Chains A and B, each alone.
Chain A
Amino acid sequence: MTLAATLVPLQAVSFALVALGAPLVVLTRDPLRQALVNGVYGVSLVCLFVVLQAPDPALSMLAVSGIGYPLVILAAIARVRARDRRKEDDS
């Protein structure tokens, strides 16, 4: 009984955070800043999964949004920017 009682407000807050986070990620048009916002969104998903009694998906979401996504996204951004800079230098 106490478990359910404490969970309800936590779940409501988590759902609200996720619902707010998604448009924030989409509306952040600058990729670098978006990667950051996406990380925060990932954390809000992790919290949601935890309060939905899903520790396994929560862990894998944590690994993915903490290590997986940021590494590939940041690497891609860095490569694109480096090439843009070099092109500017050349011209």
Chain B
Amino acid sequence: MSYLPYIVAAWICLVGIAGIATSRNLIHLAVCLTVAQSSSYVLLLSVGFVKHGRAPIFLGTKLGTPAVDPVVQALTLTDVVVSVAVIGLILALALDAHRLSGTVDPDHIADVSG
């Protein structure tokens, strides 16, 4: 158990990136992006976990009770908001691409290159 969480996080990241690079559909690709991003939440929260620690909410618990790291949780919250913003933008772009080219396959919307 001592390194499994980190391995899971790395695994999710690699799987997500593989999905992004090979996707044939921009909507599918946007979801793969959120999967890749979820690896950073898993890594952050795993890093900040403390054995025997409680959630960092001190309602009814004495101050100084062992608790997990609150900072990683704050960072994760911000990260989640970022993912909503990015998926919204990419889906909007996907709709535009579809309107203009009739396809959402990123391999077939390459209008300019070189």
Contact = CB atoms under 8 A, between A and B. Distances in A.
Interface in A24-78: 25-27, 29, 31, 34-35, 38, 41, 45, 48-49, 52-57, 60-61, 64, 68-69, 72-73, 76-77
B76 A25 contact: no
Contacts of B56: 53
B91 A72 contact: yes
Which one of B31, B49, B56, B83 has the highest number of Cβ atoms from chain A below 10 Å of its Cβ?
Answer: B31
Given A68-B84, A72-B91, A76-B95, A26 B104 contact: no
Contacts of B51: 4
Contacts of A48: 42, 45
A87 B49 contact: no
A80 B42 contact: no
Interface residues of B, number: 50
Tell me what chain A mostly uses at the interface: helix, strand, loop, or mixed.
helix
Contacts, number: 124
Chain A interface size band reads 35 or more
B35 A41 contact: yes
B28 A34 contact: yes
Given A29-B24, A73-B91, A76-B95, A60 B15 contact: no
Contact of A53 (B8, B38, B55, B98): B55
B41 A45 contact: yes
